Amino acid sequence: MPYDPSDPLKDRITDIGPRYYADFFPPVIKNNKGKWLYHDILEPGVLMHKSETGDEVYTVRVGGCRLMSVEHIKEICDIADKHCDGYLRFTTRNNIEFMVDSKEKVKPLVDDLKSRKFEAGSNKFPVGGTGAGVTNIVHTQGWAHCHTPAIDASGVVKAVMDGIYDEFGSMRLPAPVRVSLACCLNMCGAVHCSDIAILGIHRKPPMIDSEWIDKLCELPLAIAACPTGAIKPAKTATGLKSLEVNAERCMFCGNCYTMCAAMPLADDLGSGVAILVGGKLSNRISKPKFSKVVIPFIPNEPPRWETTVKAVKNILDVYAADARKYERLGEWAERIGWERFFEKTNIPFTHHLIDDYRFAYTTWRQSTQFKF
Amino acid sequence: MGKHKTPMLDELEKGPWPSFVSDIKQQVEKGKHVLKEAPDDLLGVMELSYEDKVTHWKHGGIVGVFGYGGGIIGRYCDQPQQFPGVAHFHTVRVNQPSSKYYTTKFLRELCDLWEKHGSGLTNLHGSTGDIVFLGTTTDHLEPLFFEMTHELNQDLGGSGSNLRTPECCLGKSRCQFACYDTQEVCHQLTNEYQDELHRPAFPYKFKFKFDGCPNGCVASIARSDMSVIGTWRDDIRIDQKAVAAYVNGEIKPNAGAHGSRDWGKFDIQKEVIDLCPTNCMSYDGKALEINNRECTRCMHCLNVMPQALRVGLDQGASILFGAKAPILEGAQMSTLTVPFMKIEPPYDELKDLIEKVWDWWMEEGKNRERLGELIQRKSFQEFLRVIELDPDPRMVDEPRSNPYIFWKEEEVEGGWTRDIDAFRAKHQR
């Protein structure tokens, strides 16, 4: 029975949840779930998992653009039909994984993937993203779909991945490097624990659309939204209810704009990129760590964000040359000391990098131990 | 070719990494999507943003399907006359299957559905894990939902102040480290809490994420209000023969993860024993020994020698609460709350815990206050009282250094009521 617009609630089905994952398992996964013994990365982008049943599954990992067309997904399906009996999966970092159940099937699959290019020349399915290398960048919507961004997302990611492309297809770094991008402080990309985080920030306080603000917003909610108490009620010359921002107290989080559309703050000169480094999620060797701000601002440079790409590449190169095997970027920076990090990377240390928000004191140095 | 000139975006067709611009252009040329102008106008409005260096999307309006308060996010362009194809460009979040395995049959069905009712553009996947359909108009929402539920047996995901679509790592399906069935618990809890997922009744968003081991591939410790992270409490299983094979160079260390660079011969002392954060391992040239009681299960030795070491058999999970991104009080990671819980169907112990947490947060939480912020505001002690857990030194890095203890009256002998006259009888004013 097709949808009947005159009676939208007829035969309605709700609250059925997602499809059952196990219905989508390829046979080699279905037969070996819970029986895996170990894995081995045969070459960048190619994993082998061995089961106690003797079965092996070979996984070929390729980078994807998270912003993806239906045409592209159909091509992914064609590849999975041709090589993988119609099964595939996606990773949490927007990679696509094609799985086959024997070693002979790997090379034809890899060759096929590597042969596919967009008309303009970029690779459709770069193989890599495993082990001690750079895997795909997780990111947000940016100028493609979001109302609060300070930067674009897909374009910056494309430019940065072009710049560090060789690290995606190889495993020559001291440890995995997770690069993430969030186009504003809301961080739907949650970049706060990444080895290298590219974060969109604003630097101009919100404007007040006084003629409209009382019609568009709940003023008390906008006032309450400010974590520094910088917003207070005001009246326009014509007597309209409005708001006023104490600019000196504003730290440009944009939370007021989230609550009130009449307080836009994005700006061509004010908004741009901050770079944070040294975060990690895994509990391996050291505890999970937050990323720390090391470059407070880089202007938006569409279409290729040259300065941002250079900054990421520089940090990556210095780390790769200096860190010990297994040492994550943040562990390396802590071992050599942050004073050395800034010296080696040649990044200027400015007042912006000293915390002055909540818990700031916990990041200041209460010791005479430092390096000259 | 497309109807807009996009010289800046065209620059992003160059270089080796897959170009989303090339991809959108192929959808423009070949796509069968019903909203004919949408991909073309998306390129147009993005080009305008590249010129202006600011976004051209407005705040979302309230759109959705009947009976649900989440799953659809309204989106409107602020230059609708120039770009009519994306004037209304709403997002549809579709709840992904646990750990994102697909058959091509199902993916093609999703593609067909989205061609019929939208722009033909997607995110695979959104940050929280959903399949994201990017861009449609309000009139398509009900038919899309009807066909998705009736023909694809598939529901929407979460948005707004509700339970967000839960997510898990691939767990036991293809990983030897998983200490519980992340996929099954993710699926079961998603179904158990459909009402919380579709109908916003919370102070703000709430996320579950399920990591199978402390490597944390799904980032639960940073990205979820409740992080369930697999662990074990008995001994790491050791295959001494395989240890010797690593030492002798017969097996590549770290599962080959450093394969593109010559780091020299594997040195078990330097690469495993000395890097163990608790110094609980030793190797005498013949056998590897682990003092398991002192092990904190950081995973390093298991990662380096996966063919020799396996996680213990008494498996379960640690449960942590309160992670979030910076807005508002600063970023937080989850705090260890339940050191160990068995995670087995029907997951009653876990559900009971979740419901106690929600009851408290819904009662006490302010508008847009995440659980982690509420715990900070009301105290971790208060949180423990609510979920009926005894304090445990595992929950803190160190005891407090300030002595400002909020004693309870019942803890103090004789209570707090005293007689000032009796005091004065002994102490002159």
Nearest to A148 by CA among B56, B297, B386: B56
Chain A residue with CA closest to B310: the answer is: A37
Nearest-neighbour CA in chain B from A39: distance (Å): 6
Q: Nearest by CB to A303, which of B9, B111, B124?
A: B9
| Chain A residues within an 8 Å CB radius of B173 | 21, 25, 29, 33
B382-401 residues touching A, CB cutoff 8 A: none
Residues of B in contact with A14 (CB under 8 A): 67-68, 149, 155, 194, 198
Q: Is there a contact between A171 and B261 if contact means CB atoms under 8 Å apart?
A: yes
Nearest one of A161, A171, A72, A180 to A117, comparing CA atoms: A72
The alpha-carbon radius of gyration of chain B (Å, integer) is: 27
**CB A41 to CB B257 under 8 A?**
yes
Contacts of residue A298, Cβ cutoff 8 Å, sequence gap at least 6 = A272, A273, A274, A275, A305, A307, A308, A311
CB-CB neighbors (< 8 A) of A278 in chain B? none
Q: Please indicate if any CB of chain A lies within 8 Å of the CB of B402.
A: no
- How close B384 gets to chain A, by Cα (Å)? 23
pLDDT (tens digit per residue) in A90-126: 999 999 999 999 999 999 999 999 999 999 999 999 9
Dist CA A331 CA A338 (whole Å):
11
Of A224, A266, A282, the CB nearest to B214: A282
Residue segments in chain B with a per-residue pLDDT below the cut of 50: none
What is the overall mean pLDDT for chain B? 97
CB atoms within 10 A of CB B310: 18
Q: Which residues of chain A have pLDDT under 70?
A: none
**Minimum Cα–Cα distance from B180: chain A residue:** A34
- What pLDDT sits at residue B1? 62
Cα distances from B316 to residues A33, B225, B229, B299, in angstroms, run 17, 19, 8, 15
Return the residue of B nearest to A320 by Cα. B261
- Report the pLDDT value the prediction gives residue B118, as an integer from 0 to 100: 98
Closest residue of A to B214, CA-based?
A: A283
Q: Cα distance from A237 to chain B (closest Cα, Å)?
A: 27
Name the minimum distance, in Å, from the CA of A127 to any CA of chain B: 11
pTM (predicted TM-score): 0.97
Q: Measured between CB atoms, which of A18, A145, A282 is closest to B216?
A: A282
- Which chain B residues are Cβ-neighbours of A94 within 8 angstroms? 124-125
Q: Pick from B177, B253, B251, B260: which is nearest to B213 by CA?
A: B177
**Which chain A residue has its CA at the smallest distance from B224's CA?**
A190
Task: Work out how many CB contacts closer than 8 A connect A with B.
Answer: 428
Indicate yes or no: CB of A190 within 8 angstroms of CB of B89.
no
Give every CB contact of residue A87 below 8 A, 6+ residues apart in sequence: A24, A25, A26, A29, A80, A99, B101, B102, B103, B104
| Chain A residues close to B126, C-beta within 8 Å | 188
Q: Would the CB atoms of B102 and A268 count as touching at under 8 Å?
A: no
Task: Select from A349, A177, A193 the least CA-distant residue to A276.
Answer: A193
Chain-chain contact of B150 with A13 (C-beta, under 8 angstroms): yes
Task: Check A284 against B215: CB less than 8 A apart.
Answer: yes
**Distance, C-alpha A229 to centroid of its chain:** 30
**Residue that has been written with the tokens 């008309």 in this structure:** A119
What residues of chain A lie within 8 A of the CB of B45, using their CB? 143
Report the residue of chain B nearest A83, measured CA to CA.
B104
Residues of chain A with Cβ-Cβ distance to B27 below 8 Å are 69-72
Q: Give the nearest partner residue to A118 out of B23, B30, B123, using CB atoms.
A: B23
How many alpha carbons lie under 13 Å from residue A347 in its C-beta half-sphere? 31
Chain B 152-171, residues with CB within 8 Å of chain A CB atoms? 152-155, 167, 169-170
- The answer, for B376 touching chain A at a CB cutoff of 8 Å, is no
Residue in chain B closest to A331 (alpha carbons) equals B275
Give per-residue pLDDT as tens, A299-327.
999 999 999 999 999 999 999 999 999 99
Burial of A240 (0-12, 13-18, 19+ CB in 10 A): middle
A162: chain B residues, CB-CB within 8 Å: 14-17
Instruction: Calculate the dihedral angle through the C-alpha atoms of A99, A101, A103, A104, rounding to the nearest 10 degrees.
Output: -100
Closest-CA distance, A232 to chain B, in angstroms, reads 18
In this complex, the residue of B122, B172, B367 whose CB is nearest that of residue A33 is B172
Token pair 């559309």 in the structure block, residue: A261
Selected residues 225-244 of chain B with any CB under 8 Å from a CB in chain A: none
B-chain residue closest to A180, CA distance: B127
The pLDDT value given to residue B62: 84
Contact B298 A147 (CB under 8 A): no
pLDDT of residue A201: 97
Q: Is B27 on the interface with A (CB under 8 A)?
A: yes
Cβ atoms B269, B304 nearer than 8 A? no
Measured between beta carbons, the chain A residues lying within 8 angstroms of B91 are: 145
Strands B335-341, A95-100: pairing kind: unpaired
